[in-house]
Amino acid sequence: EKGGYEHFMLKEIHEQPNAIRDTYRGRLLANEGIIRMAGIDDNLEKFLNANRIIIVACGTSWHAGLVAEYIFEDLARIPVEVEYASEFRYRNPVITDKDVVIAISQSGETADTLAAIKLAKSKGAFVFGVCNVVGSTIARETNAGAYTHAGPEIGVASTKAFTTQITVLTLIALKLAKANGSMSKTVFHSHLQELELIPDKVKEALKADKHIKEVAHIYKDAKNCLYLGRGYNFPVALEGALKLKEISYIHAEGYPAAEMKHGPIALIDDQMPVFVIATKKGHYEKVVSNIQEIKSRSGKIIGIVTKGDIDVKKVADHVIEVPETIESLTPLLTTIPLQLLSYHIAVMLDKNVDQPRNLAKSVTVE
């Protein structure tokens, strides 16, 4: 059942090229220049007339929501707010029938997300679900939705659910961007073509596994780790840190790279590994200067870089390469090495990778 892999998590990491392809199959029609999604088509006016989109989710799904915030605002020019479902539901939020709420949940059973949906519905908002488990409670409770089609995710640490959630949300954003005129036909087409290349590029990113394992070996005994990224890759930094925490029990924090100097930089010494996402597009030069700040305080730097990178290589202790793509799609690639890294560290520390202590696959209690 693990398909020859030692753990479900590793199997699921490697399934991502196919899972992403399954997610856009029948939806992304690159040659025709169309994105077909019944849940959006049937409710297009609701999305186009929305004052804003509110995304509610927990954990990794919340991180996917944060990536979506960048995508929706950047590509479709629709204001987005991303909320922890557990906070949203208890703070008397301002919601009206002009709001569209997107609830993201792999399991479709997360209690806090479900409660947030019920609250939003009671205030008249239109609620759209992005779930993986077909027929799950959240899939049934929402007004409409789109499944991720990632296939069953067994490992408690979410991997393919995350990248397929981002894929679905990208499709929605592109569709709305075209429909509301914020994206030209030509740019729309080039995005569709780039998205079609992602499964192969994920496959390529997975090939760095051996090197990632070597890096994992060097840092497996760290007590603390920092993960930094900017823009689209800030949520990836959060997700990288969460992945390490949950399965290896090493304390890790994700931060926007530029926030370093407002506090966390005080933590940097030669015992602190800092994983920095520094891909070519998206504030590259700024991130390089953030890296120099860490270097001058003796921090250990592991850069997640675009293939062929030169500048980060000069200053970092290690670099892990991912293929080049357009900025909005980089999270689908930069996430991959961070998943593998956490996996290998947890295995080296002899932890229960698929069923980490204190965690359940779906959190059905509040």
Residues belonging to the active site: 361
Distances (CA, A) of 302 to 67, 286, 289, 295: 22, 16, 14, 11
101 counts as binding ligand M6R under rule CB under 6 A = no
Does residue 86 bind ligand M6R (CB under 6 A)?
no
Least distance (Å) between residue 158 CB and ligand M6R: 4
Residue whose CB is less far from ligand M6R, 4 or 135: 135
Taking the CA atoms of the chain, what radius of gyration do you get in angstroms?
A: 20
- Which conformational region is residue 140 in: left (phi greater than 0), alpha (psi within -120 to 50 degrees), or beta? alpha
Q: For residue 158, state whether it binds ligand M6R (rule: CB under 6 A).
A: yes
Nearest-CB residue for ligand M6R: 59
Of 23, 86, 106, 167, the one binding ligand M6R by CB under 6 A: 106
105 belongs to the binding site for ligand M6R (CB under 6 A): yes
User: Which residue number, 110 or 335, has a Cβ lying nearer to ligand M6R?
Assistant: 110
Find the helix or strand (DSSP H, E) in which 34 lies: strand 34-35
Per CB under 6 A, which of residues 235..274 are in contact with ligand M6R?
A: 246
Sheet holding 99-105, edge to edge: 80-84, 52-57, 99-105, 126-131, 144-147
Tell me how long the chain is: 366
Contact 275, 302 (CB under 8 A): yes
Kindly write down the DSSP assignment for every residue of 286-353, as one continuous string. Answer: HHHHHHHHHHTTT-EEEEEEETT--HHHHH-SEEEEE----GGGHHHHHHHHHHHHHHHHHHHTT--S
In terms of CB distance, is 238 or 304 closer to ligand M6R? Answer: 238
Pick 146 or 294: Cβ nearer ligand M6R: 146
By CB under 6 A, residue 61 contacts ligand M6R = yes
Instruction: Name the minimum Å distance from CB 261 to ligand M6R.
Output: 29
User: Site residues (CB under 6 A) for ligand M6R?
Assistant: 58-61, 105-107, 110, 113, 156-158, 246, 359, 362-363
